Amino acid sequence: EQPADSIPKALKDSVINALDTIDEAPLYQSDYLNAANAAEEKFFTLENNLIKSVISSKGAQLSDVLIKDYYTYDSTDLHIIRPGKSLFDIEMNANQWINTSDLNFRKVESTDNSLTLRLNFNDSSYVDAIYFLPDDTYMVNYSLRFVGMSDVLDPRTNQMTLKWVVDMPRLEKGYQNERNYSAVAYKYASNNDVKTIGQRKESVKETFSSTLRWFGFQQQFFSIIMMAQNGFSAGTLVNKFYPEGNAERDLMQSGAEMSLEIDNRSDDFTVPMSIYMGPNHYPTLKSYGESFEKIIPLGGKVIGTISRYIIIPVFNWLNKSIANYGLIILILTLMIKLVISPLTWKSYTSSAKMKVLQPEIQKINEKYPKQEDAMKKQQATMDLYKKAGVNMFGGCLPILLQFPILWAMFRFFPASIELRQQGFLWCHDLSAYDSILDLGFKIPLYGNHISLFALLMGITMWGYSKMTLGQQPDNAQMPGMKFMQLWFMPIMMVFICNNLSAGLSYYYMLSNIVTIGQNWAIRKWFIDEDKIYEQIKQKTNSKEPPKKSA
C-alpha cells in the first residue's frame, strides 16, 4: 500500500492520459475522479473453499458470486450474484455528490484472501474498499477506509448512502413454492427480533428511521445478508417479484438504500461492514451469532421454538448416522408418534367412552323430543357425562395439543435446506414437489402436474377419516360434517400439497399410516367397549359423588 502523500508516477501519467481522452466538459472537480470515470473496468477474484467472488473495479463492487458445492435445480453452477444483475453504490458528498458505481477503483494490494481497491480524490486523499475472505466461511469482511478526506468531504454532511439492488435468481424447481419462502429480512440494532417484508406480496416498500443492524435478501434456501458494525442509521427496503415466465430466470428484485454515519472531521476513519452470501442452513447461520438463523421461516414463538429446539436438533442427530433422508423422515415420524402416544391413547379412550354412551344419550333424546325441552335435554346429557366420568371434550383436546407439532413440521420441511436435492424413491428432490405426470396444462389451485406423495397423503387421510367415522354411531355427526371430514378435507389437502415439499407430503402420509395402525392396535388389543360400558353403568348407578371426568 502506498503512503497517502506518495502517488506513483505511473498513476499520475494514467490520469493525464485518461483526461486527454475526455472530449466533453469534465464531470468532476477532481482530475483523479474524472480519470477514474474514464478508466477501463477490471475484475479481480477472491475465493476460499466455500465461495468464489468476482469484484469489479467499477464501484469496487461484487459482480459475480459462486456458492461452491451447491447447484441449481437443473444442475448448473449456483451464482447468488450474477454479472449485470447487481448494482452496488456508495453516494457521498465530496463538495459535489459522488457515486462510486460510476468510478473505477485501482488495485493497490492483494493476497490470497484479501483485496484492497483505491479511489483517489487528490494526491493525498483517497477511499479504500477492503475485502477480506478467510477460509471456511461464507462471510466476506468489507470495509471502507477514508484517508485524508476531512478537507474533501462536505463538513455539513455526516452521512453517506449505501445503495444495493440485486436481481435474486430462481434456483429451485417450483416457482410458487420458492417465491412463498423468499423475502427481504432485517434486524434492528436494539433487539434480536428478525422481521421480513415482501413475503407472498407482488411488491413492497418500507422505510426505517431506527437503526438496523443488518438487512438480507432472502431466497428460499440462500441469502445475501449485509451487516454494518455500527448499524445503518436509517433507510428503505424494497422487494418486487418477477413473473414466473421471466426469461432471465429472475425470482425477485431486492433493494436497500441505507444511511451510514461517517466521521467527516477525521483524517483517517473506517466504516466496517460484512456480507454473508451462502445457504440458509440453520447451524451455519446461527454460528455467526447475529440472529441470521431467524430468517428461516420456522414459525412464531411457539411453533418456532418446537422447530429450533426439538425438530432440527433431532433431525441433525439422525443425519449423523443415517444418510437417506426418506428413512430419517420415517424415523422422525415414529419418534414423534411415540412421544405423543399418550395423547393418542387419551383421545381414543375418550372417543370409546362417548361411543358406548350413545344408547343412553338416545334414551335422553327420546325422553325430551320437543324443542322447548332442549334445556332439559342438555342438562340431562351433561349429568350423564358427569356421572359416567366422561369429558365431552376429552377426544378433542388431545388432538388440538398435537396441532403445534403438525404445524411445526409444515413449516420445517419446505424451509429445510437439508432436504434440497435429496432423492427418495421416485422423488428427485424432497424439498420440492414430486411429479409422476406432467399434465401439460394448469388446473387452478392444483398445478400442472400430479404429485404422488400428495395423492397418497390424501388417500391415507381419507382412510383415517373412514376409520374414525366407522367407529362412531350414525347419529354422532351431521351428514354435512361427515362429508367435510371424509371427502372435502382430504381433497383440499391434496390440492394444497401438490405444489409443496414432497418431504412434507411424505411425512403427513407416514403420520396418517402410523395413526391408523395405532388406532387399529388400540381397538383390537387394548380397548374393550363392553367392559367400558359396564364400568360406566356402575358409575352412573353408584351413589358416590362423581370423580373428576377424564
Q: How far apart are CA 124 and CA 120, in angstroms?
A: 8
Say if residues 481 and 465 touch (Cβ distance below 8 Å). no
Of 108, 90, 95, 109, the closest CA to residue 149 belongs to 95
Position 392 confidence tier, pLDDT thresholds 50, 70, 90: low
Mean pLDDT, residues 37-50 taken together? 95
**Strand 159-169 to strand 250-261: parallel, antiparallel, or no bridges (unpaired)?**
antiparallel
**What is the CB neighbour count within 10 angstroms for residue 74?**
8
Say if residues 280 and 295 touch (Cβ distance below 8 Å). yes
Of 213, 178, 179, the closest CA to residue 195 belongs to 213
Of 443, 446, 437, 457, the closest CA to residue 502 belongs to 457
Q: How far apart are CA 152 and CA 119, in angstroms?
A: 13
Mean pLDDT, residues 106-133 taken together? 94
Looking at the chain, the whole-number percentage of residues with pLDDT higher than 90 is 46
Q: Which three cell numbers stand for residue 365?
A: 333424546
Estimate to the nearest angstrom the gap between the alpha carbon of 262 and the chain centroid.
Answer: 34
Of 130, 110, 128, 131, the closest CA to residue 119 belongs to 128
Q: How far apart are CA 461 and CA 455, in angstroms?
A: 10
What's the confidence (pLDDT) of residue 547?
54
**What is the CB neighbour count within 10 angstroms for residue 390?**
23
Estimate to the nearest angstrom the gap between the alpha carbon of 501 and the chain centroid.
Answer: 13
Concatenating the DSSP letter of every residue in 78-128 gives EEEE-TTSEEEEEEEESSSEEEGGGSB-EEEEE-SSEEEEEEESSSS-EEE
Local structure of 186: helix, strand or coil: strand
Q: How far apart are CA 495 and CA 450, in angstroms?
A: 10
Position 336 confidence tier, pLDDT thresholds 50, 70, 90: confident
HSE toward the beta carbon, residue 96, CA cutoff 13 A: 8
* Phi and psi at residue 326, to the nearest 5°: -65, -40
Q: How far apart are CA 110 and CA 19, in angstroms?
A: 27
Q: Which three cell numbers stand for residue 15?
A: 490520469
What's the confidence (pLDDT) of residue 489?
87
Position 37 confidence tier, pLDDT thresholds 50, 70, 90: very high
Of 312, 364, 385, the closest CA to residue 548 belongs to 385
Q: How far apart are CA 544 and CA 550, in angstroms?
A: 17
Q: How far apart are CA 56 and CA 38, in angstroms?
A: 15
Model confidence, pTM: 0.82
Give the list of residues 6+ apart from residue 347 with CB closer than 8 angstroms, or none.
Answer: 394, 395, 396, 398, 399
Mean pLDDT of the chain: 85
Local structure of 404: helix, strand or coil: helix
95-99, 229-233, 397-401, 438-442: least confidently modelled range: 397-401
Mean pLDDT, residues 489-508 taken together? 90
- The string of pLDDT tens digits covering residues 430-483 is 988 888 988 888 888 888 889 999 999 999 999 888 877 765 555 455 566 777
What's the confidence (pLDDT) of residue 1?
43
395 pLDDT more than 70? no
What's the confidence (pLDDT) of residue 144?
96
Concatenating the DSSP letter of every residue in 198-256 gives -TT-SEEEEEE-SPEEEEEEE-SSEEEEEEEEEEE-EEEEEEEEPPTT-TT-EEEEEEE
- Helix (H) or strand (E) segment spanning residue 366: helix 358-367
Q: How far apart are CA 278 and CA 295, in angstroms?
A: 13
Q: How far apart are CA 325 and CA 319, in angstroms?
A: 8
Mean pLDDT, residues 417-425 taken together? 91
358 pLDDT more than 80? no
Q: How far apart are CA 255 and CA 174, in angstroms?
A: 24
- Helix (H) or strand (E) segment spanning residue 326: helix 325-339
Q: Which three cell numbers stand for residue 294?
A: 431467524
- Measured CA distances, 366 to 181, 354, 356, 361 (Å): 55, 18, 17, 9
- The string of pLDDT tens digits covering residues 123-178 is 899 999 999 999 999 999 999 999 999 888 888 888 999 999 999 999 998 888 89
Mean pLDDT, residues 521-539 taken together? 69
Mean pLDDT, residues 31-51 taken together? 94
**What is the CB neighbour count within 10 angstroms for residue 470?**
7
The alpha carbon dihedral of 70, 73, 79, 80 has a sign of negative
Q: How far apart are CA 478 and CA 350, in angstroms?
A: 20
276 pLDDT more than 80? yes
Local structure of 405: helix, strand or coil: helix
